[in-house]
């Protein structure tokens, strides 16, 4: 089972401040992984999710706070993930996250 499966509270430390999002990764029934990222502003699908052991990469497009195509590269260690995202030639942003446990209440997201 891929280590990324589940719901994650994720923070992205960007040049415009820290953004929070909720990422959900699921097994889409045999053809690979599926996922989405949600902020207060929008929910977007994740594309090209690749799990290579603890390392997971994916792409997503956002329209808020500005229109960007993001590439993520993270490492999962139990219920924590760390890594970075990059939008084109912009500087890398640090990404950290914590997996939600079953029954854990949803925390409101900020930013986005």
Domains in the chain with CATH codes: 6-99 (2.40.128.20)
Q: Contact at 8 Å (CB) between 4 and 15?
A: no
Of 54, 20, 50, 52, nearest to 37 by C-alpha is 20
For 59-67, which contacts have Cβ atoms below 8 Å and span 24 or more sequence positions? 62/37, 62/112, 64/39, 64/112, 65/16, 65/19, 65/41, 65/111, 65/112
Query: In this predicted structure, what is the pLDDT of residue 92?
Result: 94
Q: Contact at 8 Å (CB) between 112 and 20?
A: yes
Per-residue pLDDT tens digits for 67-82:
889 999 999 999 999 9
Per-residue pLDDT tens digits for 2-61:
899 999 999 999 888 899 999 999 997 776 899 999 999 999 999 999 999 999 999 999
Query: In this predicted structure, what is the pLDDT of residue 17?
Result: 87
- For residue 110, pLDDT over 60 is answered with no
């Amino acid at each position: 089972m891929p280590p990324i499966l589940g719901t994650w509270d994720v923070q992205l430390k960007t040049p415009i401040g820290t953004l929070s999002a909720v990422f959900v990764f699921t097994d889409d029934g045999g053809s690979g992984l599926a996922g989405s990222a949600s902020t207060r502003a929008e929910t977007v699908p994740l594309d090209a999710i690749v799990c290579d052991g603890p390392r997971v990469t994916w792409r997503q497009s956002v329209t808020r706070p500005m229109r960007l195509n993001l590439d993520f590269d993270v490492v999962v260690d139990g219920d924590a993930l760390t890594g970075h995202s990059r939008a084109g030639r912009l500087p890398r942003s640090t990404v950290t996250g914590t997996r939600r446990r079953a029954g854990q209440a949803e925390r409101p997201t900020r930013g986005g």
